[in-house]
Amino acid sequence: MSDEMKARIVIHYCNRCGWQLRAAWLAQEILTTFEQQIEEVALRPGDSGVFEIWAGEVLIWERKRDNGFPDAKTLKLRLRDQVFTDVSLGRHLESH
């Protein structure tokens, strides 16, 4: 995948709620799984209970809309299904 086609992931989280470590952990999971497909993962502090994960213009996860926080497997599957459709996550993640 060329650099022009790589995705920029943004994790926008509420700093006042103490969600920085959760955001950093999910960023590490994304970096490990999609290292060839992403340009960068950015952590963007916010407030008012925000927790959103964006891949370019695509909203992958939103805490209020999706009723909480994603676990790593759920997030990786959603990223694969919505953005990185040609990436195999292996049997350990694909099986339900």
Coil/strand/helix, residue 7: strand
Coil/strand/helix, residue 93: helix
Whether the model clears a pTM of 0.85, i.e. scores above it, the answer is yes
- Is the pLDDT score of 1 beyond 50? no
Give 46-68 pLDDT, tens digit per residue.
999 999 999 999 999 999 999 99
Q: What pLDDT is stored for residue 94 in this prediction?
A: 58
DSSP 12: E
Q: CA separation (Å) from 91 to 22, 35, 52, 68, 71?
A: 25, 19, 27, 26, 17
Report the DSSP pairing between strands 38-46 and 7-14.
parallel
CATH of region 3-94, choose from 3.30.300.30, 2.40.160.60, 3.40.30.10, 2.40.10.220: 3.40.30.10
Q: What pLDDT is stored for residue 89 in this prediction?
A: 85
